[in-house]
Amino acid sequence: MCRHLAWLGAPRTLAALTLDRPSSLLRQSWAPRRMRHGTVNADGFGVGWYAPGLRPEPARYRRAVPMWTDASYSSFAGAVTSGCVLAAVRSATVGMPVEETATAPFTEGRLLLSHNGRVPADGALRELAARPGAPVPDSRCDSAIVAALLWESASRLPLPRAVADVVLTLGGLREPDGTPSRLNLLVTDGTQLVASTWRDTLSYREEVDGIVVASEPDDDESDWVDVPDQYLLVADTDKVTLSSLIS
Ligand code: GLN
């Protein structure tokens, strides 16, 4: 599984959020600590961030190379600050293309999305994605198709309900060998963070000036909270709400 992280709160640099932590996403790109599927996250990385006052849509930087090889990212990451950031490092699922357009975060309008997991990228998923009016995915990667479905859902539902809708619609799909879908989504519109747990790890930490939500803790402090499986997390700058997706 890939690893992802989002921050909502007082402005921080991209470097503080993704590079400088003891077990930062940079470090997780070669040494993740809680990854259940795969060993390294060397198939690409991406960062999306908001610049309120400049424009409503987020900026996004993504590459189909290991994070540790991109000296240009580390050169500007310490000079860009934002109060809402979503970043990911990728371990491509077998059969999925390794290309920039398959790399999270995906974006549409004000939304950013990352996916830890795997959904059978044929049959039912493709049929759903081909519905009239559904946005065209950026890539044939499963995560890009999931993102396109979320854009459609979020155009008619509040964001937390849209995320739950996509997870519950796809959550029962299985690979031909019976392997169930894994659908840990992390989504933001710049004002709230919405995340699902569906067969992978997720933790969050409330800090004095904001909240961080991540596939795994980026340090060994004890104030991280692990989110149970099959839950929806919704966070704004005031509070975090957890609710079961299946009851
Ligand atoms: N299936 C997605 C991809 O191929 C996500 C992979 C993952 O979570 N490791 O990019």
- Kindly report, residue by residue over 139-162, the tens digit of the pLDDT: 999 999 999 999 999 999 999 999
Among 2, 19, 26, 185, the one annotated catalytic: 2
pTM for this entry: 0.97
Q: Which CATH fold would you assign to the domain 3-244?
A: Glutamine Phosphoribosylpyrophosphate, subunit 1, domain 1 (3.60.20)
Q: How far is the CA of 97 from the centre of ligand 1 (A)?
A: 10
Q: Which atom of ligand 1 is the closest one to the Cα of 200?
A: 8
Q: Ligand 1 — pocket residues by CB below 6 A?
A: 1-2, 38, 90-93, 96, 102, 115-118, 141-143
- For residues 202 and 184, is the Cβ–Cβ distance under 8 A? yes
Report residue 182: phi and psi, to 5°.
-120, 125
Strands 182-188 and 111-118: antiparallel
Is 2 a catalytic site residue?
yes
pLDDT for position 73: 98
pLDDT for position 1: 64
217-226 pLDDT per residue, tens: 999 999 999 9
d(CA 197, CA 80): 30
Residue spans per domain, the chain:
3-244
DSSP structure class, residue 60 = E
Beta strands in the chain (DSSP E): 3-13, 45-51, 55-63, 81-89, 106-108, 111-118, 182-188, 193-196, 203-207, 210-214, 225-226, 231-235, 240-244
| Pocket-testing residue among 2, 138, 179, 183, ligand 1, by greatest number of atoms within 8 A of Cβ | 2
d(CA 201, CA 105): 18
Q: Which residues in the chain land under pLDDT 50?
A: none
Q: What's the token pair of residue 118?
A: 């795997």
Bridge-partner residues for 49, per DSSP? Answer: 59, 85
pLDDT for position 186: 98
Burial code (b: 16+ CB inside 10 Å, e: under 16) for 37-62 equals ebeebbbbbbbbbbbeeeeebbebbb
Residue 25's SS3 state is helix
Q: Which atom of ligand 1 is the closest one to the Cα of 92?
A: 4
ipTM: 0.97
